[in-house]
Amino acid sequence: MLFPIYRPRRLRRNEIIRAIIRETELSVWDFVYPMFVVPGKKVKQEISSMPGIFRQSIDNITEEIKETRELGINAILLFGIPEKKDELGSGSYDENGIIQMALRKIKEEIKEVLLITDVCMCEYTSHGHCGIIENGEVQNDKTLQYLARIALSHAKAGADIIAPSDMMDGRVSAIREALDANGFENIAIMSYSAKYSSAFYGPFREAAESTPQFGNRRGYQMDPANVREALREIALDIEEGADIVMVKPALSYLDVIKAAREEFNHPLAAYNVSGEYSMVKAAGRLGWIDEAQVMMEILTSIKRAGADIIITYFAKEAAKILNSLRR
């Protein structure tokens, strides 16, 4: 059917027509909001490279979660920054560690919230790597027992979903086995299955104080050039018992999200990471872009690529826009 009989612009004439034929719809239910917990009381420190995002003590973070729930955001991803760090990252599996205390307090005050906990050692180790170091190398198999121990401590403290982000081989299986053996077979695992070695993590490393003290993480995080490898990683995690799989980062890896969506039927998460957030914030503050429109366009593109779940620092701002459209 050729012009002038068929005119695609007929269905773009006004906002109502555009809305009723829209193929991809963002929802507040799509969002998971990442938050950073630190020791102390009444602590709220803005992260310089992430405007609007804070390191907060448990009392303040509990209050902010109440605010996010009022916006319709019901899922939180918690990262902990301990008071002290050591070679073994012992604060990560301490019964009275920062995440464990936060989980208990939040669950005590807020009954209906989904708490997802990041399971990794980089925020807790003095060397900043995601596992146990011997002879200058991260020891994959020795690290697994520590990751399982962290996951179990989170489950005992009240975590709803465990999210391993370390990229050690076999960690999903080790965590699933530990959870099941201790009566936590109903706790889900959201695995950072395809986590790339990305320069977009820079602001997060400031927020979590997790920059490696030597070397880098390229030995265990994925090469940005690879897609087929991501599909192998996701398949392995599913075989090991992952309930939700993830691609991280999101914006530069939309093709990976799309390939994963086409290949697998598992729930698929995508992490709209700190660098992606900070670039938009910086350009918006300089007046170079319409920050809100760019934010919504990015989030829509992640959903359009196939993500079911979007982990994003934009969650609160995007929720306000989506809520206003429903009125």
Residues 6+ away with beta carbon under 8 Å from 26: 296, 299, 300, 303, 318, 322
Question: How do residues 212-269 score in pLDDT, each as one tens digit?
Answer: 665 566 777 899 999 999 999 999 999 999 999 999 999 999 999 999 999 999 999 9
Based on the residue annotation, tell me whether 248 is a catalytic residue of this protein. yes
Is a pLDDT exceeding 70 seen at residue 137? Answer: yes
Query: Cα–Cα distance between 91 and 83 in angstroms, integer?
Result: 8
Query: Tell me, what amino acid is at 255?
Result: D
Is a pLDDT exceeding 70 seen at residue 1? Answer: no
Nearest to 248 by CA among 65, 102, 25, 34: 34
Element (DSSP H or E) covering residue 103: helix 98-109
Tokens of 140: 């994959």
pLDDT confidence of residue 206: 79
pLDDT confidence of residue 294: 98
Q: Catalytic: which of 85, 195, 281, 316?
A: 195
Domain chopping of the chain, boundaries: 24-326
Which residue is associated with the tokens 């993590």? 201
Which residue is associated with the tokens 């002879």? 135
pLDDT confidence of residue 275: 95
* Bridging pattern class, strands 114-119 and 50-56: unpaired
Longest alpha-carbon distance in the chain: 72
Is a pLDDT exceeding 80 seen at residue 321? Answer: yes
Average pLDDT over residues 135-153: 92
Is a pLDDT exceeding 90 seen at residue 76? Answer: yes
Based on the residue annotation, tell me whether 320 is a catalytic residue of this protein. no
Give buried/exposed letters for 46-84 (b at 16+ CB in 10 A, else e): ebebbeebbbbbbebbbebbeebeebbbbbbbbbbbbee
The whole-angstrom distance between residue 224's C-alpha and the CA centroid of its chain comes to 18
Nearest to 204 by CA among 55, 88, 40, 84: 55
pLDDT confidence of residue 207: 75
Burial of residue 155 (CB within 10 Å: 0-12, 13-18, 19+) is buried
Average pLDDT over residues 205-217: 68
CA angle 150–152–156, rounded 5-degree value: 120
Query: Cα–Cα distance between 160 and 197 in angstroms, integer?
Result: 27
Tokens of 15: 């906002």
Q: Does domain 24-326 bear CATH number 3.30.70.20?
A: no
Per the CB < 8 A criterion, the answer to whether 256 and 269 are in contact is no
Per the CB < 8 A criterion, the answer to whether 211 and 128 are in contact is yes
Query: Cα–Cα distance between 47 and 289 in angstroms, integer?
Result: 22
Nearest to 195 by CA among 228, 233, 161, 162: 233
Count CB neighbours of 95 within 10 A. Answer: 10
Count of CA atoms in the C-beta half-sphere (13 A) of 296: 15
Q: Which of 99-108, 124-133, 162-171, 268-277 has the lowest mean pLDDT?
A: 124-133
Q: Catalytic: which of 42, 84, 248, 316?
A: 248
Give buried/exposed letters for 96-129 (b at 16+ CB in 10 A, else e): ebbbbbbbbbbbeebeebebbbbbbbbbbbebbb
Nearest to 249 by CA among 184, 319, 307: 307
Question: Which range among 87-96, 168-177, 211-220 has the greatest average pLDDT?
Answer: 168-177
Query: Cα–Cα distance between 91 and 97 in angstroms, integer?
Result: 5
